[in-house]
Amino acid sequence: MRKVDSADLDQLTLGATLLGTGGGGDPFIAKLMVEQAIQDFGAIDVATLDELDEDDLVATVAVLGAPTVIVEKIPSGPEFTNAVRALAAYLGKEIKAIMPVEVGGMNTLIPLAVATELGVPCVDADGMRRAFPQIEMTAFTLAGLSASPMSLADEKGNKVTFETTSNQVGEKLVRGSAMMLGLANAVSLYPMTVRQAKDAAVWGSMQYCSDLGRLLRAVQHQEDGAWDQLLEFTEGVVAFEGKIIDLDRRTTTGFARGTVTIEDFVDPGRTMRIEIQNELLLAIADGRAVVTPPDLICMLDHETSEPITTETLAYGQRVRVLALPCAPEFKRGNWLDVVGPKAFGYDVDYVSLEG
């Protein structure tokens, strides 16, 4: 096990912003929560799956809601431990470790704060190694694991525990309750043994996120060869570079949806259109799908290489679009039904970044 201290959070937060692919909430708010938790409860134990007892019970914890609401109504803390405790009580078992459900966005960092407050380690693994808008869109689902029993809690003391016949029904139910409770709630879900996690989870995603943050910081500091190192580490490609010439955003059916169009710096005849549903999900260049979910679309400011979230998109911004291949753990079972373009209602086929 290694200790995570405040000094480690900068890289992790930057990496989490990139893996948030424009969504996933603002990791900076979550970073403040973790710093407070470290101050109150001490440095956080982060364990690999190998370091835990195979029979131990692990559960994920996350904030659930609309990023726009979460920014205004910062999660205060007790609802997260309440959600985990409600789930443990429902199961009648002790939860021995906390795991992120997504490493990407603010849900990368929140589990660290919750783990130290509960006095258990945080597992260096997750279910996505990116952010996705719905709870069933995980490598866990694809490995046949149930998201439920799962518990939702708000800051006032309301608690709801779900036991559902599918993770899709679970998503509908938990989101319905979250809408009633203000759309910025804590959820603890996917209880599983370490043995199950070993098969189902994306291993080492916290370390991956931290490494990614370190490499991106080097890019921002214009260190020699940093770009190449970032692309090599992620096996990513620069998919487009240009200026935002059109932006359409709307909030419908509980999601922030929109479309952003980018024009090539050199050739104004070349454009890329990116479809948004909380995250940047689908990139169409010159009428052809070029980056499709579950692969990642990351947008950076062209000058500063700061990741751009969908909330801060603006007309005239000069951007660089990175395409990163998804965690290989996604590519099993009926993965295209769960995390492919059609799962988001896009009538296009998955396009591999490998060509």
Q: Can you give the binding site for its own copies, defined by CB under 8 A?
A: 86, 90, 156-165, 169, 172-173, 176-177, 179-181
What does residue 6 show for φ and ψ, rounded to 5 degrees? -50, -35
d(CA 289, CA 287) in angstroms, rounded, equals: 7
Of 86 and 197, nearer to its own copies (C-beta) is 86
What does residue 140 show for φ and ψ, rounded to 5 degrees? -65, -50
Q: At closest approach, how far in Å is the CB of 168 from its own copies? A: 11
- Which tokens hold the place of 7? 């000094």
**Cβ contacts of residue 171 below 8 Å, gap of 6+?**
134, 135, 136, 147
Q: At closest approach, how far in Å is the CB of 89 from its own copies? A: 8
Q: At closest approach, how far in Å is the CB of 166 from its own copies? A: 9
As a whole number of angstroms, the longest Cα–Cα distance in the chain is: 62
CA 95 to chain centre: 22
Of 129 and 159, nearer to its own copies (C-beta) is 159
Of 140 and 162, nearer to its own copies (C-beta) is 162
**In a 3-state reduction of DSSP, which class is residue 27?**
helix
**Which sign, positive or negative, has the C-alpha torsion 172, 149, 99, 36?**
positive
Q: At closest approach, how far in Å is the CB of 150 from its own copies? A: 10
Of 169 and 351, nearer to its own copies (C-beta) is 169
d(CA 46, CA 323) in angstroms, rounded, equals: 29
Q: At closest approach, how far in Å is the CB of 92 from its own copies? A: 8
Closest CA to 99 of 59, 42, 65: 59
Quote the radius of gyration of the chain (alpha carbons, Å).
19
- Which tokens hold the place of 346? 């896009």
Q: At closest approach, how far in Å is the CB of 33 from its own copies? A: 23
Q: At closest approach, how far in Å is the CB of 169 from its own copies? A: 6
Of 109 and 189, nearer to its own copies (C-beta) is 189
